[in-house]
Structure 1
Amino acid sequence: MNDKKTMNFNDLEQWLNERRVTEVECLVPDLTGVARGKILPRAKFTEDRGMRLPQAIVAMGVTGEFPESGPYYDVIDPTDKDMQLRPDPTTVRIVPWATDPTAQVIHDCFDHQGNLVPYAPRTVLRRVCDLFAAQGLQPIVAPELEFYLTARNTDPNTLLRAPVGRSGRSETSRQAYSIDAVNEFDPLFEEIYDFCDKMELNVDTLIHEVGAGQMEINFFHAEPLGLADEVFFFKRTVRESALRHDMYATFMAKPIAGEPGSAMHVHQSLLDVATGKNVFSNEDGTPSETFMHYIGGLQRYIPAAMVLVAPYVNSYRRLSRNSAAPINIEWGYDNRTVGIRSPISSPQARRVENRVIGADANPYVAMAMTLACGYLGIKNKIKPKPEMKGDAYLAPYSLPRSLGEALDWLRRESDLHEVLGKEFITVYSEIKELEFDEFMKVISPWEREHLLLHV
């Protein structure tokens, strides 16, 4: 069998045969990161090598709604035409929790002329990676993904709480890096690691984060598209495993008031394809101009791109001084108060960590966003601000404070439109505008408590 990275359709058939697969989950990640698609019998999958779905299926809001009119339909045909989905053989994984032998394969979206659908999340990330490839560069990334375990909660009006562990008690205090707190959920994490092993997901370290019931999983570094696929699979796996252990796993950016938010920190570096060397370091081991320009690009464009990695109203609850998340795009070495951190490392491992991305972000869009900002920094030779050597929380806010504000910033930044694609920006913006409008129809408990009898 070939290495999975080079698998073709013949290899895929052999892979399915070896595992006696009887069903195939044909998946496509939508803008939210939800797995859309169809479940096909093995014979039907082999016969068709793809499927069709309406164009808008990958471009709906988190509530499942679509815009009624507007620029959205300048990109997506209002007659609800189909797109063609083709499997990517390199993404095939077993579904470890299925009763019968079942495989899952991520598909790419094409129009009837054979072109990739420009607003599909995988297409957007491919587009950005291709820009680096044209410069002889290979981006390398490593995500760190935080999430909360909570007790089952079937009533949206009820506050979330930490689940009961092996001791029979729920966490009531913060247990950062506590081994015993992680061991409270040994059966769950043993199953998660087992499932990840069967799915060949390259997960590394598991730690207990600051919040009660908050965990973090780190991934080994690799190329962006494959790692975005792994994060997509991992989120699905963790949610499934949690349900099997009578609890929920949530990747909401700020699920519990008074607790820290959840992030997806993305470490990133660039390799010279010809030499394999890290272009963030000079031959003498000092930081290169490319490294500085990359940071400059992150500082220049992240504020305008925030809605891509803080995609919901809830996302902006995390980005505050009391939520252990950045409030600006200062940069510094080994400084966890900044939005852009460079960890202490050897010259060959020099990298940048983007700390503003929320755990609720679509992994494909998130990686496309941070790489696009860095690319523009290199292209335009943008110099960064001086290094922040103190507490960045003492510096002013420089990120949008709400979804509506973030949308306005993105719409005005034409450089990002060119790199990420105007069709994607249009569809994404229209969907987020729809979600924002839906949220504004909801009256919160805070408003009833403080405004009902006082104004």
Structure 2
Amino acid sequence: MNKEEIVQYVKDHPSGKVKIAVTDIDGILRGKYISVEKFLSVIDSNTGFCDVVFGWDAADVAYDNVEFTGWHSGYPDALAKLDLSTFRKIPWENDIPFFLAEIIDKSDQPSYVCPRQLLKRVLSDAKNAGYTPFFSQEFEWFNFAETPRSANEKQFRNLTPLTPGMFGYSILRSTLQNPFFTDIFQLLKKFDVPLEGLHTETGPGTIEAAIVYSEITEAADRAVLFKTAVKEIAYKHAIMATFMAKINENLPGCGGHVHQSLWDDTGKTNLFYDEKDNMKMSEIMKYYIAGQLHCLPYILPMFAPVINSFKRLVEGAWAPTTLTWGVDNRTVALRALPGSSKSCRLETRVIGSDVNPYLAMAAALASGLYGIRNKLDLKQAATTGNGYKDFSNGTLPKTLDEATQMMKHSKLAKEILGESFVRHFVQTREWEWKQHLKAVTDWEYKRYFEII
């Protein structure tokens, strides 16, 4: 639809309202309804969101350590610009019109705290170098036969999984829960978040979905909208969906792997593919992989953003722990899939399902471009066996604190992501770590209550 058609649809919709949203630093959609009249008054200017959405954490607790906003600023409105290209109809809300917005500063310039703006800045770097990035994300997540009320009443203990047993790629389980599966597939397609595949994953009530690839900004939009859409569709079936990276030490974690490739500026030639190379990988792809390997220790919080993220990154649990790469090897951090000129791509497997897709994709692209700009040789041999045992290039940081401090003191992270963004993001991750230190867990009660 063009602008005129979008405006006409909004005017004609019987609800008389529009839903808009921005994505906060944790990847959570923060939104509201506005009237048609309000929408028409801001489509060529700006609207506003209280800037507290970038001044608090996922639990709505205000940061006390960030500069962008706080009690010191009085929490004014942040300017937000609607992106009409993100127009969608929400099929489970009577096709109400929906738009994403992004945060700008008072000079009408991209705000350094806005995840979507960061991605667009990195994309600009790629475009200026003559590259068109195509990305996609796949998600694994757990589902429970619970409601927000029942889960809270149970204090999130002994929740009932949607289906029992470790049943990956199950035809039976997808039939048992067919109404839910069907709604996910069909409603997401109507919502312009098309899926390439949908299946059960190993674990009780676990599902995996792969989103159809697209240009990187659209890919990130789809990934952000996917997570919220799945939760809303689940509500309609009295189900709760969670994208936590690890829900139980005895169960596999949940990945949010990102697939990526660079094409020429026409979008017709895959620059990762080289028919003459023995691995079918171009020099550009090798530089890109070398860049990600080099940068990973310094940008890991972009791929593993919370305390729980690091419970997934443990040996032998289908999540990487070493700085490794390999060809079609699922035990390494970076899985190269040379395939053909159409499908040649890289899969970054470090990324968990709990990420902010804008930040994960921005970090993946920025680090790959760093390798290309500096022509980093891929000196490290591809891992052909168990990547968990390949320590030739080191291991990933093991805690959010360790990873955050490495990012905080990294000139490289500031170079590829911007100093202002890194400063703000690091402050939010330091806050996250501090909140964790205050909590007394069930593990501590079980271990210490009687014996100490």
Superposed pair shares fold, TM > 0.5: yes
What are the equivalent positions in structure 2 for 1:371-450 lying under 5 Å apart? 371-384=365-378, 385-396=380-391, 398-450=395-447
The Cα shift of 1:74 comes to 6.1
The Cα shift of 1:16 comes to 2.4
Partners of 1:31 and 1:59 within 8 A in 2: no
Partners of 2:293 and 2:323 within 8 A in 1: yes
2:288 alignment partner in structure 1: 294
Describe the shift of the 1:296–1:98 C-alpha distance in structure 2 as closer, same or farther (beyond 3 A): same
Pairing 1:116–2:115 present: no
Describe the shift of the 1:15–1:136 C-alpha distance in structure 2 as closer, same or farther (beyond 3 A): farther
The Cα shift of 1:410 comes to 0.8
CA distances 1:133-152 after superposition (whole Å, capped 9, x unpaired):
11010111121111111121
1:237 alignment partner in structure 2: 229
Describe the shift of the 1:156–1:302 C-alpha distance in structure 2 as closer, same or farther (beyond 3 A): farther
The Cα shift of 1:206 comes to 0.3
The Cα shift of 1:96 comes to 1.8
Greater mean deviation of Cα atoms: 17-26 or 102-111: 17-26
2-structure distance, mates of 1:158, 1:275 = 49
2-structure distance, mates of 1:57, 1:298 = 30
Report the 3-state secondary structure (helix = DSSP H, G, I; strand = E; otherwise coil) of the residue aligned with 2:39: helix
1-structure distance, mates of 2:426, 2:174 = 39
2:168 partner letter: A
Report the 3-state secondary structure (helix = DSSP H, G, I; strand = E; otherwise coil) of the residue aligned with 2:447: helix
2-structure distance, mates of 1:454, 1:370 = 46
CA distances 1:5-53 after superposition (whole Å, capped 9, x unpaired):
xx4x434203424655521111101111222132111122112324212
Describe the shift of the 1:380–1:303 C-alpha distance in structure 2 as closer, same or farther (beyond 3 A): same
Partners of 1:54 and 1:80 within 8 A in 2: yes
2:371 partner letter: G
1:14 alignment partner in structure 2: 8
2:350 partner letter: V
Report the 3-state secondary structure (helix = DSSP H, G, I; strand = E; otherwise coil) of the residue aligned with 1:37: strand
2:155 alignment partner in structure 1: 156
1:186 partner letter: N
1-structure distance, mates of 2:225, 2:234 = 14
2-structure distance, mates of 1:231, 1:447 = 36
1:218 alignment partner in structure 2: 210
CA distances 1:348-374 after superposition (whole Å, capped 9, x unpaired):
421110000000000111101111111
2-structure distance, mates of 1:11, 1:59 = 36
Report the 3-state secondary structure (helix = DSSP H, G, I; strand = E; otherwise coil) of the residue aligned with 1:207: strand
1:166 alignment partner in structure 2: none
1-structure distance, mates of 2:155, 2:67 = 33
Greater mean deviation of Cα atoms: 269-278 or 366-375: 269-278
Describe the shift of the 1:192–1:18 C-alpha distance in structure 2 as closer, same or farther (beyond 3 A): farther
Describe the shift of the 1:59–1:378 C-alpha distance in structure 2 as closer, same or farther (beyond 3 A): farther
Greater mean deviation of Cα atoms: 355-364 or 82-91: 82-91
The Cα shift of 1:175 comes to 1.0
2-structure distance, mates of 1:200, 1:21 = 21
1-structure distance, mates of 2:137, 2:124 = 20
2-structure distance, mates of 1:130, 1:157 = 43
| TM-score, structure 1 as length reference | 0.91
Pairing 1:184–2:176 present: yes
1-structure distance, mates of 2:68, 2:230 = 37
Unaligned runs of 5+ in 2: none
2-structure distance, mates of 1:136, 1:446 = 52
What are the equivalent positions in structure 2 for 1:28-427 lying under 5 Å apart? 28-49=22-43, 50-69=46-65, 72-73=66-67, 78-98=73-93, 102-152=96-146, 153-154=151-152, 155-163=154-162, 170-171=163-164, 173-274=165-266, 276-282=268-274, 284=276, 286-384=280-378, 385-396=380-391, 398-427=395-424
1-structure distance, mates of 2:450, 2:297 = 38
Give the root-mean-square deviation of aligned CA atoms. 2.0
CA distances 1:109-154 after superposition (whole Å, capped 9, x unpaired):
1112111111101011001111101101011112111111112122
Report the 3-state secondary structure (helix = DSSP H, G, I; strand = E; otherwise coil) of the residue aligned with 1:108: strand
| TM-score, structure 2 as length reference | 0.92
Report the 3-state secondary structure (helix = DSSP H, G, I; strand = E; otherwise coil) of the residue aligned with 1:97: helix
Aligned residues between the structures: 439
Partners of 1:109 and 1:116 within 8 A in 2: yes
Partners of 2:312 and 2:319 within 8 A in 1: yes
1:24 alignment partner in structure 2: 18
Report the 3-state secondary structure (helix = DSSP H, G, I; strand = E; otherwise coil) of the residue aligned with 1:53: strand
Partners of 2:303 and 2:352 within 8 A in 1: yes
